[in-house]
Amino acid sequence: MKEIGVGIIGLGVVGQGVVKHLNRNASLLSERISTRLSVKRVFARNPKKKRAVQIAPELWAKNWESVINDPAVQIVVELIGGTTTAKEIVSQALTQGKIVVTANKALLAEHGKELFALSTKYKAPLFYEASVAGGIPIIKALNEGLIANRIQSLHGIVNGTCNYILSSMTQSGASFDAALAEAQKLGFAEADPTLDVDGWDAAHKTCILASLAYGFWVNPKQMYVEGIRKVSAQDICYTRQLGYVIKLLGIIRADGKNDVEIRVHPTLVPKEHVLAQVNGAFNAICVRGDVVGDTLFYGRGAGQDPTASAVIGDIAEAATSLAGNKQVRSFSAHKLYGKVKKIDDIVSRYYLRLSVLDKPGVLAQVAQILSKNKIGISSVIQPESDEEGEHVPLVLLIHDSTERHLRDALKQIDKLSTVKAPTRLIRIETFE
Amino acid sequence: MKEIGVGIIGLGVVGQGVVKHLNRNASLLSERISTRLSVKRVFARNPKKKRAVQIAPELWAKNWESVINDPAVQIVVELIGGTTTAKEIVSQALTQGKIVVTANKALLAEHGKELFALSTKYKAPLFYEASVAGGIPIIKALNEGLIANRIQSLHGIVNGTCNYILSSMTQSGASFDAALAEAQKLGFAEADPTLDVDGWDAAHKTCILASLAYGFWVNPKQMYVEGIRKVSAQDICYTRQLGYVIKLLGIIRADGKNDVEIRVHPTLVPKEHVLAQVNGAFNAICVRGDVVGDTLFYGRGAGQDPTASAVIGDIAEAATSLAGNKQVRSFSAHKLYGKVKKIDDIVSRYYLRLSVLDKPGVLAQVAQILSKNKIGISSVIQPESDEEGEHVPLVLLIHDSTERHLRDALKQIDKLSTVKAPTRLIRIETFE
C-alpha cells in the first residue's frame, strides 16, 4: 500500500487531536483511501510539555523549517495558530510545492489572497476545511457539493462561544456579564474573550465563506462587525415577546446586481426558523442556492475532536490528490461579482429600543420623525420595565429601510429631550 | 479553456433541470472549475415530447448506445430511471472507461455491488450524489468530509412524500388516507404511491448510505422495511401526548462489535430533537461520528432543481477529475465491519397500542406477561377514545428490549380474550 508522509507543526489541543485520531482510526482510513497516512515529523514550540499523545523521539523536529524541508513530508499541517509565523510556514511550504492543511481562520481571513496566489503559482493545494465551523464540512459543500449554485444568501452561527452565551441568556434571563462568566467557568469562553464576543472570530469565518461563495477574497476590514457585548437581558426578553430569538449571525447575500453584503452582528431570527433552534456551543450554516434552494449544515463548530475530524478529512483528500495527481480546487478566483457593499447601503428590518420619558406624546414625536424620513413602523410595544425613575423602554419594529436612512432618523430621535439614552438598534432577518 | 463533453440519457423532470441549470450557470461553472462543460449528445425515449428546454437538433441521438459510443462524450449522465435499461447503460459506459453520473437510487441499491466492481475494474468513476436526499451533499460528506470518522449511527428522513404525509397528519389530525389524497393533489405524492409510502424509496437510499458508512454493499432484501400506511391518527395523537413525533426514519447503527443495524420504519422521535422539527417535503440526515460527534444535513430531498444541483455537482467533480486524472473514491469496499443484523436482534424502546376490554384487571394481565418475559414498562396511558363499543385503547412505552423478546410476549398478549386486535408496535429512538 502506498504511504504518504505527514508533517505536523503545532501540537496544541487540535494537533494532539489530529495525532490521536489518525492513530485510532488508522486502519479504517487506509482502507477508505487505499493509502497509509504516516506522521513523519512533528514540531512544537515546547516539545517537553506534558501531552495526551506520545510522539516517538525521532519524529521531533528542532524547528518548523526542518518539517517542511524533510523529503519524507508530503503534506504540511499548520496548527501553530497566529498570523505571523503561521504565514511564514504556509508560504514556505507552498513555495516548495508541498500540500498544506490548515485550521487557521485568522491567517486565511487576513492573508488568504496572497496564500491562494502562491498555491496556484506553485500548484500546491491549500486545504482549510477546519477553519470554519469545526467538523461541519461546509467548505467542501460550497466548493464542491453546491458548485452548481449561485449562492443567494448564507446565514451562519459560526461562533460557539457567542451562541452559548446568547442561548444561556435566553434560557435563564441572565445578563451578558453573568452568562460570560458562566461560559468561562465551563470552558466555553476564553479568559480573554475579546476575539469571540466582539465578533472577530465569526468575521474571519464569514470572510472565508463569502470569498468561496463569490470568488473574490474578502478582507475582514471590508466588513461590518458588531459583537454581542451590548445585547442586554432586556433586549432578549422584548424580542422574545415579539416572536424572535437573538443570534450572532454571519450574513452574506448577493444583491442581484453586482455587490454582496457581508456582515456579522446580533440579529433577530424568527423563533420558528431552524437557526433559532440551534443552541449552546453548536454551529449551523443555512445556504440558499439558486438551484438547490435552502440547505442547512449543523454540528459542533469547535473543540479538539470536531476540528481534528476536519483536519484529517483534508489530509485524506490531500493524500488522494497526491496518489492521483488530482487538480484540486482550493479556491477559484473570478470576477463575476463586484465588491463588498457598505453597511450604510444595506436594506434590513430593525428592532429599536428607546428609553423615553413616561408621558403622553412621545410616541407621536418619534413616529413623526420616522415618517418624515419615510421609514415605516410595523409594531410598537411599551413593555413593563424595571427601570427606575421617569424613563421607560419603548420598542419599535421597523419595516425595510436602508441603514443610512434609519441612522439619519435616529440621530434626530436621540436629540429629542424626551429621549434619555442612545437608541439600541438590532437588525432583523426574516429569511423570506 | 479546456472543454469536457457530457452525454445525457433520459430527459424527464431531472434531465431537463440539469440542462436548464447547466446553461443558466454556465459561465459561473466554467470560472469555478476552469473547464467548460458542453452537452454533446442527448437521448430520450420520446424526443418529440414537448419539453421546457431546447435541445439543438444535431445533439439528439437515435439510441442510448450512440451517446455512450460518441468519442466527444466523456461523462455519461444516466437519468432514464428504472433498473433494467439503466443497468445496461451504466455497465456499458463503465466498461468503456467513461465516467458515469447517476441519480438512480433503485439501480444502486439493487446492483451497486457489481456496478462499483466494474467502476474499479475499468478505472471509471461512478458518481451518485443525487441518488440520496436530492440537493443535500450527503454522499460527499460521508465519502470525504467525515472520512476520519467511524460512523456510529445515522438517522435519516430521506423520503419527502412520507415526511409530507406524516407532517400533515401531525398538524391537522387527518387520517393517513386523507393526508395521502391531499399530498397527491398537491404533487407531493405519485398516483401510485407504493414505492414511497411502503418505505422502499427510503430503503434504497438507506442502503446506499449504509454501504458508504460501513464499506460493504447492502442489498435492500437484507433490511427490515416498514412503510407508513398503518400509522393512524390515533397513534399520532397518543405519541404526541407522550412527547414524541412520528417520522419515517432510515436508521443505521454499528453495534460496537461487528454487525450493523439497517432498517426503515415509522419511529417515535422525541419532540425536542432536531429531526422532529423537519417538516413537509424536506429531508434531513443526522450523522454521529466517533470523532466529529453529531452533525445534521438538511435540505430539499427531491424535485427538479435540488436533484439537478446534485447531478451538476457530480458532473463538475467528474470534469475536475478528468482534467487532473484524480483518483476518485466512488466507493471503497473493506471488511472492517461484519454483516447486517436481523431485526429480531435489534434492541430498542417501543410504543405499543393495545385495544382491550374496558374492565379492571386487563393491565395487570398484560403487565404480568411482559414481566414474565423480563420486559419493563416505562409509561402507561389510557387515552380518551372515540372507539365504539366495549374496547378501549391502552398505550404502553417499553424499556429497551430485543425485538424477538417483545414479539414473543406480544404473541401471548394478543391471545388474551381481553385483547381485541393485534397490538400496534412502533419503535422509539432516543438519540442517547
The ipTM is 0.91
pLDDT at position B90 is: 98
What is the pLDDT at residue B329?
65
Are B130 and B178 part of one and the same domain? no
Q: Are residues A154 and A34 in the same domain?
A: no
Same domain, B168 and B152: yes
Q: Is residue B330 part of a domain?
A: no
Picking from A254, A289, A324, the residue at the C-terminal end of a domain is A324
Nearest to B49 by CA among B78, B77, B13: B13
Residue A139, domain member (yes or no) = no
Q: Do B150 and A29 touch (CB under 8 A)?
A: no
> Rounded distance, CA B136 to CA A138, Å?
12
Query: Which residue on chain A is closest to B297 by alpha carbon?
Result: A297
Q: Which residues of A touch B125 (CB under 8 A)?
A: none
* Chain A interface disruption, residue of B309, B320, B331, most A CBs within 10 A: B309
pLDDT value for B304: 95
Q: Which of B98, B205, B247, B341 is catalytic?
A: B205
A101 belongs to a structural domain: yes
Rounded distance between C-alpha atoms, residue B16 and residue B304, angstroms:
8
Task: State how far residue A321 is from chain B, nearest Cα, in angstroms.
Answer: 6
> Is the same domain home to B261 and B276?
yes
CA-based nearest residue in chain A for residue B299: A295
Average pLDDT rounded to a whole number, residues B219-244: 94
Indicate whether A86 and A151 sit together in one domain.
no
Average pLDDT over residues B116-130: 94
With CB atoms and an 8 Å threshold, state whether B299 touches A300. no
Q: Please give the residue of chain B at the shortest CA–CA distance from A272.
A: B277
Task: Place A341 in a pLDDT band, splitting at 50, 70 and 90.
Answer: confident
Q: Which residues of B touch A306 (CB under 8 A)?
A: 291-293
**Per-residue pLDDT tens over the stretch A79-106:** 999 999 999 999 999 999 999 999 999 9
In A24-164, where do the E strands start and end?
A: 35-43, 75-78, 99-102, 126-127, 151-157
| H or E segment to which residue A87 belongs | helix A85-95
pLDDT in tens, B148-178: 999 999 999 999 999 999 999 999 999 999 9
Taking all residues of chain B, what is their mean pLDDT, rounded to a whole number? 93
Tell me: do A289 and A309 sit in the same domain.
no
Pairwise CB contact (< 8 Å): B135 & A334: no
Examine residue B42 and state whether it is found in any structural domain, yes or no: yes
**3-state secondary structure string, chain B?**
CEEEEEEEECCCHHHHHHHHHHHHCHHHHHHHHCEEEEEEEEECCCCCCCCCCCCCHHHECCCHHHHHHCCCCCEEEECCCCCCHHHHHHHHHHHCCCEEEECCHHHHHHHHHHHHHHHHHCCCCEECHHHCCCCCCHHHHHHHHCCCCCEEEEEEECCHHHHHHHHHHHHHCCCHHHHHHHHHHCCCCCCCCHHHHCCHHHHHHHHHHHHHHHCCCCCHHHCEECCCCCCCHHHHHHHHHCCEEEEEEEEEEECCCCCEEEEEEEEEEECCCHHHHCCCCEEEEEEEECCCEEEEEEEECCCHHHHHHHHHHHHHHHHHHHHHCCCCCCCCCCCCCCCECCHHHCEEEEEEEEEEECCCCHHHHHHHHHHHCCCCEEEEECCCCCCCCCEEEEEEEEEEEEHHHHHHHHHHHHHCCCECCCCEEEEECCCC
Residue in A274, A310, A327 closest to B277 by CB: A274
Confidence band, pLDDT 50/70/90 cuts, at residue A29? very high
**At residue B325, does pLDDT exceed 60?**
no
In this prediction, residue A383 carries a pLDDT of 83
Q: Which of A327, A330, A335 to mutate to test the interface with B (most CBs of B within 10 A)?
A: A327
How big is the A-B interface in CB pairs under 8 Å? 216
Residue B335 lies in a domain: no
Q: What is the largest CA-CA distance in chain B?
A: 82
My answer on whether B224 and B360 are in the same domain is no
Do A282 and A400 have their domain in common?
no
CATH number for B208 = 3.30.360.10
CB contact under 8 A, A140 and B136: no
Beta bridge partners of A212: none
Say yes or no for a CB contact (<8 Å) between B149 and A29: no
User: With bands split at pLDDT 50, 70 and 90, how would you rate the model's confidence at B382?
Assistant: confident
The answer to whether the Cβ–Cβ distance between B297 and A300 falls below 8 Å is: no
Residue A376 is part of a domain; what is its CATH number? 3.30.70.260
Please answer yes or no on whether B295 and A25 come within 8 Å at the CB atom: no
Q: Which domain holds residue A355?
A: 344-427
Residue B10 falls inside a structural domain: yes
Given a cut of 80, whether residue B328 has pLDDT beyond it is no
d(CA B246, CA B261): 20
Query: How far, in Å, CA of A73 to CA of A147, rounded?
Result: 31
Instruction: Using CA coordinates, name the residue in chain A closest to B294.
Output: A299
Is the confidence at residue B388, as pLDDT, over 80?
no
Contact B213, B151 (CB under 8 A): yes
Residues of A in contact with B135 (CB under 8 A): 146, 289, 291-293, 295
Rg from Cα positions in chain B: 24
pLDDT of residue A360: 82
User: Smallest Cβ distance to A28: which of B150, B284, B305?
Assistant: B150
| Alpha carbon distances (Å) from B172 to A306, B112, B161, B168, B176 | 40, 40, 16, 6, 11
Q: Considering only CB atoms, which chain B residues are within 8 Å of A214?
A: none
Q: Find the residue in B nearest to A139 (Cα).
A: B145
Mean pLDDT taken over chain A: 93
* Domain closes at, from A289, A324, A359: A324
Do A295 and A316 reside in the same domain of the chain? Answer: no
What integer pLDDT is reported at residue B338 of this predicted model? Answer: 74
**Catalytic site residue from A205, A230, A342, A372:** A205
Flag whether pLDDT at A386 surpasses 70. no
Residues A68 and A81 in one domain: yes
B36: domain CATH number is 3.40.50.720
Q: What pLDDT digit, counting tens, does each position of A149-186 carry?
A: 999 999 999 999 999 999 999 999 999 999 999 999 99
Residues of A in contact with B330 (CB under 8 A): none
For residue B36, the cross-strand partners are B3
Could you confirm whether B205 is annotated as catalytic?
yes
pLDDT for A324 equals 67
Query: Bridge-partner residues for B31, per DSSP?
Result: none
Per residue in A264-273, pLDDT tens?
999 999 998 9
Residue B276 lies in a domain: yes
Evaluate if residue B327 carries a pLDDT over 70.
no
Asked if B168 and B111 sit in the same domain, the reply is no
What total number of domains does chain B contain? Answer: 3
- Quick one: pLDDT band at residue B326, thresholds 50, 70, 90? low
What is the average per-residue pLDDT within A231-255?
Answer: 94
Q: Which of B148, B277, B321 sits opposite A277 (nearest CB)?
A: B277
Cβ of B146 and A21 within 8 Å?
A: no
DSSP A135-146: TS-HHHIIIIIT
Q: Is A297 helix (H, G, I), strand (E, B) or coil?
A: strand
Q: Name the residue among B313, B328, B332 with its Cβ closest to that of A147.
A: B313
What does the alpha-carbon distance between residue B20 and residue B23 come to, in Å, rounded to a whole number?
5
Contact B135 A295 (CB under 8 A): yes
Q: State yes or no: pLDDT of B257 exceeds 80.
A: no
- Examine residue A432 and state whether it is found in any structural domain, yes or no: no
Q: To 10 degrees, the CA torsion angle through B279, B284, B285, B291?
A: -100
Tell me: do A415 and A360 sit in the same domain.
yes
